[in-house]
Structure 1
Amino acid sequence: MEPNEHVEGATAAVINSVLEHLYELGVQPGWRHGMSLEGRLSSGILTVDAGAGVHEFPAVGTAIVSPAELTLLPHDETTILLTRHITTGRAESLAGRGWGGYADSTGNASLCAPGMVIGVTGKRDTGAGKAPPATPFTRAGLPVTFALLMADEQGGRPRQRELAGSSGASIGTVNRVIRALRERNPPMLDESNQVLRSAALEDEWVAAHSTLQPRVWPKERFTSDIWKDPSDLIPAQLSDGALLGSELAAAHLGAPIRPSGALVHLPPEARGPRPAGRLSAEAASAERTTVR
């Protein structure tokens, strides 16, 4: 039941624990490793033999997953998330974002296949004393994480009270964020509050911040007889000042997602006359297309 040797650290521990809990349910689980990303994320195949044949689930294993990653990680309705404790709220978020199920290191699981249903809920995380891994990327924690990143750019090692003053957060929130970043595997913060992996921390901060922003719908909408898919806008020649937003920008930067909508931001001074019934770079302030 051991995961592939290419799986590292906390992710390997999570996958091992998931397999052990599934084994305790009377099934034969297995893990077939696919690929790793920065040692923190591992994709592969979770196999489960409940006595009537082996079921295979594409899976992503990670010790920590942010709300933004629930959307951005490549998955479909058959993909299983293997991670640490899944709360009831997180399980609902997974279902709402199109995941096929989950299994966590505390024994909770939701796996469905023809002739097999595994459902375990109510198991609690026994890691007493540890800060929730997502603390630095919650609405309360994001300002503290941002303050740490700003201090890192200036070569500083801020104290907790300095972070509280610059972020506007309470000392309690600052301490929880710091503890969570130090408990990451590998750590993102050392004992002197120096950021150890600034690029990775910045990427997670940006993803979480974008997810928590209220959605602002465009004031103007246009249809297009030319662009039928959101991705059609990526190679298009847009006006000066035009910026791609939403899922399309993430895809343009290499995120492994298929955009379901396109948002184009254009400053008022760059907008010209609108051709009727056609979306153009000069006419559009924003365009959103739903692909079914």
Structure 2
Amino acid sequence: MSIIEHWTGRIPAFITRALEALAGVGLRADWSALTSDLGRAASGTLIVDDGHSTHEFPAIAQASASAADIALLPHDEQTILITDRVSQVRAQQLADRGRGGYLDSAGNASLRGEGMIVEIAGQCKPGSAPTPATTAPFTRAGLPVTFALLAAHDLHGTIPTQRATAESSGVSLGTVNRVFRALRERTPPFLEGRHNDLTRPDVLEREWISAYSAQQPAAWPEERFTSGVWTIPEGLLNIPLPEGALFSSEVAAARLGASIRPASVLIHVDGDDRTRKELIRHGRLRRDETGMIRLRPALWRIPPVPTEGQTVPRLLIRADLLLEDDPRTDEISAEFRGNDR
């Protein structure tokens, strides 16, 4: 069940724990939710009373937040993030991307208001952080299905049938049907009507990127190589790839005209072992854990939409750029949002 279904009524547990943590250091805090459609996240106001005055902070709350979420969720210099756990690494990512601050359930906080500065770090709560519930569209098996729907909708404005989606993604028809059903049953729904009209592509895209990023590299582990032919990433900007291999991330963005100088080369390769062997032979690739060539298993059996410049669909370029976890690529990633947003 989606977290968004709980924003009305009682405050979600992770926010309550965060407010209680502030109370533990003498700051009375409250949460006021705003009407919004941010999928797993919600917008609102954090109200903090320090005993002398009251401070209001615009806030985005989400139970767990990956590096991709930090880049994707709405943010500015005033808006803080409320989440279950902010590590020192995550705190630095928030600072690098210009967020206003944060508050987590363990009591770590960075809040700055007129006449008030709160900086608390190093707090750890017992036990491990909760794992957010993963529904069918965002599991290891369901992500290729949801990806195919989003890619087709971005290009055509419609989504394929269940049978066509199963053929493209290479998963069973039963898995496809479960994903479609879950998207229809979301509150509010992602799919509506007899023709499964996609109602909130921007929210679904953000949730897909978040789930895909959280499951990397375990779900689709990549291999690294050096090349006897290509010595710098720019050397691959104009070369053809074997059928079944597609560029992504920085090189894909550069091939499509983005102003970026690639630092490495990411290539998604389909499940046909002949594709991988041909690519290794063509580039005279040698295994190297620090090599600039990265091969990652593809999310599809057949690409869900026609390719452009031998690059993956734009949604995956955006997701892979965010996985680089470099604030300099965030703006480039935003250029690859869906055409209707």
The 1:34–1:132 alpha-carbon spacing in structure 2 relative to 1, beyond 3 Å, is closer
Give the distance between the partners of 1:70 and 1:57, measured in 2 at CA.
Answer: 17
The 1:74–1:91 alpha-carbon spacing in structure 2 relative to 1, beyond 3 Å, is same
Matched position secondary structure for 2:337: helix
User: How far has the Cα of 1:205 moved from its partner?
Assistant: 3.2
User: How far has the Cα of 1:19 moved from its partner?
Assistant: 1.2
The 1:129–1:76 alpha-carbon spacing in structure 2 relative to 1, beyond 3 Å, is closer
Give the distance between the partners of 2:204 and 2:10, measured in 1 at CA.
Answer: 17
Q: 2:208 aligns with which of 200, 205, 210?
A: 205
User: How far has the Cα of 1:62 moved from its partner?
Assistant: 1.3
User: How far has the Cα of 1:52 moved from its partner?
Assistant: 2.9
CA RMSD in angstroms comes to 4.5
**Corresponding residue for 2:250?**
215
**Corresponding residue for 2:24?**
24
Whether the 8 Å CA contact 1:14–1:61 is kept in 2: the answer is: no
Matched position secondary structure for 1:35: coil
Matched position secondary structure for 2:85: coil
Whether the 8 Å CA contact 2:112–2:118 is kept in 1: the answer is: yes
The 1:132–1:124 alpha-carbon spacing in structure 2 relative to 1, beyond 3 Å, is farther
User: How far has the Cα of 1:148 moved from its partner?
Assistant: 7.7
Give the distance between the partners of 1:128 and 1:112, measured in 2 at CA.
Answer: 28
The 1:84–1:76 alpha-carbon spacing in structure 2 relative to 1, beyond 3 Å, is same
Whether the 8 Å CA contact 2:39–2:204 is kept in 1: the answer is: no
Tell me how many residue pairs correspond in the alignment: 193
Give the distance between the partners of 1:130 and 1:64, measured in 2 at CA.
Answer: 8
Structure 2: unaligned runs, 5 residues or longer: 150-160, 164-169, 172-177, 185-189, 191-202, 217-247, 260-307, 315-331
Q: Deviations over 1:232-285 (max 9, x none)?
A: xxxxxxxxx79987313427443xxxxxxxxxxxxxxxxxxxxxxxxxxxxxxx
User: How far has the Cα of 1:44 moved from its partner?
Assistant: 1.1
Structure 1: unaligned runs, 5 residues or longer: 156-165, 168-193, 223-240, 255-292
**Corresponding residue for 2:73?**
73
Greater shift, 68-77 or 206-215, is seen at 206-215
Q: Deviations over 1:80-110 (max 9, x none)?
A: 1001111111111111111111001121111
Whether the 8 Å CA contact 1:67–1:208 is kept in 2: the answer is: no
Q: Percent identity?
A: 36
User: How far has the Cα of 1:20 moved from its partner?
Assistant: 1.1
Larger RCO (CA under 8 A, 6+ residues apart): 2
Give the distance between the partners of 1:100 and 1:13, measured in 2 at CA.
Answer: 23
Matched position secondary structure for 1:215: helix
Give the distance between the partners of 2:40 and 2:127, measured in 1 at CA.
Answer: 19
Q: Deviations over 1:48-85 (max 9, x none)?
A: 12133211111011112232221121110111100111
Alignment of 1:130-149 (within 5 A): 130-131=130-131, 146=143
**Corresponding residue for 1:247?**
334
Matched position secondary structure for 2:91: helix
